[in-house]
């Protein structure tokens, strides 16, 4: 199972999300083709209701403790159904990579 698949499975099991997207953004960075080093995760779940953002992220980080040892970056967007609706189902794009040789 890939790291991406493992992240998807663990978050599905933990949060029963209304919406889940795990995007491997490694290709946007100076890494080997096929790498699994940079991820953007959007989780929409009412399990986040009444939780501050830091607590939501801590929950996700705890669930993905083993995977975080293997990856370089994890961008998290943790929303309730109401927040997701208010944002019209959109989250911010990840910034372009500023490191490595891609900008030289």
| C-beta separation of 81 from 47 below 8 A | no
Between 98 and 39, the more confident residue is 39
| C-beta separation of 77 from 42 below 8 A | yes
Proportion of the chain in helix, strand, coil states, percent, rounded to 5: 40, 20, 40
Q: What is the pLDDT of residue 43?
A: 98
Place of tokens 């990579």: 97
pLDDT band at 13 (very low <50, low <70, confident <90, very high): very high
| C-beta separation of 20 from 84 below 8 A | no
Report the predicted TM-score, pTM, of the whole model to 2 decimal places.
0.86
Q: What is the pLDDT of residue 32?
A: 73
pLDDT band at 104 (very low <50, low <70, confident <90, very high): very low
Give the residue ranges of DSSP H helices in 1-104.
Answer: 3-15, 53-63, 65-68, 81-86
What share of the chain has pLDDT > 90, as a percent? Answer: 65
């Amino acid at each position: 199972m890939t790291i991406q698949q493992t992240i998807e499975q663990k978050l599905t099991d933990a949060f029963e999300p209304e919406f889940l997207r795990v995007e491997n953004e490694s290709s946007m960075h100076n890494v080997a083709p096929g790498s699994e080093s940079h991820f953007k995760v959007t989780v929409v779940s009412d399990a986040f209701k009444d939780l501050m953002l830091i607590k939501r992220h801590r929950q996700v980080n705890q669930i993905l403790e083993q995977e975080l040892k293997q990856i370089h970056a994890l961008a998290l967007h943790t929303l309730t159904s109401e927040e997701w609706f208010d944002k019209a189902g959109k989250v911010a794009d990840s910034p372009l990579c500023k490191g490595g040789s891609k900008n030289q």
